[in-house]
Structure 1
């Protein structure tokens, strides 16, 4: 009786298994310490098959960066709903960002730590992702600023630095949230909204930005005057 033939797994599915294993290994052990033997074993394939599909450790790491970067940018874009007011768009986009980084801590470690510290080629991949997110956030802030100033011709340069600062703060806050038990994506997003949107002045005066569902709809700080007494 002949041997039973098993159904061959499609290349795309097998490759995603390898990438899953690689992201987990790179995220936990770091790029330098991770071995192709370990990745192959975790993926349930032979090391020669990993090389056949993804050529080298460098190419495998690049493929991981590109996949995780694409997933993160898509999550942020999908989270920010264009029909909402500007503050709600930003809050929902931030919530999507923190939700994704919390659900994929190894992927976030690959993007935010490993890729940035192991060569210019890898760092450039992450820089391209970050530039896309910054450009997206810039447009959200610009729309809000033009409405607030009643100036449809307000230049993008006036707010581009704010977008850079906001994205940088989100990156640091994601590291903190992932390392701090009990911090939810909603809490992280609200923290950043209170710091960036409401501003420290309003925050210290007890005028907080409140996310939808907590105390009615979220509102800009100048229309909101409850929550806590001023800090002295």
Structure 2
């Protein structure tokens, strides 16, 4: 039932997806849908919570613990892109429908995003501790947090690009992850060695 609801909400939008549509897609009667969830609002909220938890679990589960910093980041990004590619309706529900439908759904997505950002912050902070040439050259906490926000935002944008169908032979999950690693890691790698960029004087 939740699979059918995610598909309907993602493809038709919250306003246009009816409980009749969802019951038909699920192959059950509309009274049965209402038996499990009292309203369309509750059904939508249940879908958002499930998809958010699934995405967070996919990212966390993909990271290769104990691997070098770049490998950990690569594996986490690969897990993110693989999940969004396998569950395009779930990604559309989270990144488009729930965000635009307002509170409390946008709040659920914001909480999911904050959890992923916190996790990426931990990965970058661990890499910074290992890669800094000396304790004095380690990145400040605010810089690490900013980089994590930038990386997550870039990943979200790439997931939209990879899944929008505009490219005839769209990138695979690993190709999307490699694109972001090529964009981000060269800069991160320099920062971890204490070699930051600054504007020319």
TM-score above 0.5, yes or no:
yes
| C-alpha distance in 2 between matches for 1:128 and 1:38 | 29
Quick check: which one's helix share is greater? 2
How far apart in 1 are the matches of 2:120 and 2:163? 22
Q: Check if 1:109 corresponds to 2:109.
A: no
1:164 maps to: 149
The whole-number CA distance in structure 1 between the counterparts of 2:99 and 2:114 is 14
Q: Which residues of 2 match residues 140-219 of structure 1 at below 5 A?
A: 140-149=123-132, 150-151=134-135, 155-179=140-164, 180=167, 181-199=169-187
Number of residue pairs matched? 186
Which residue matches 2:197? none
The separation in 1 between residues aligned to 2:139 and 2:178, in whole angstroms, is 27
1:35 and 2:23 correspond: no
Cα deviation per residue 1:88-143 (whole Å; 9 max; x = unaligned)? 00000000000000000000000000000001210000001000000000011111
Match of 1:14 in 2: none
TM-superposition CA deviations, 1:142-165 (whole Å, max 9, x none): 111122223297543231010001
2:108 alignment partner in structure 1:
125
Match of 1:225 in 2: none
Distance 1:19 1:159 in 2: 37
Structure 1 CA distance, aligned partners of 2:18 and 2:139?
Answer: 51
Greater Cα radius of gyration, structure 1 or 2: 1
TM-score (norm 1): 0.76
Bigger mean CA deviation after superposition, 187-196 or 150-159: 150-159
SS in 1 for 2:135: coil
Which among 74, 83, 98 is matched to residue 81 of structure 2?
A: 98
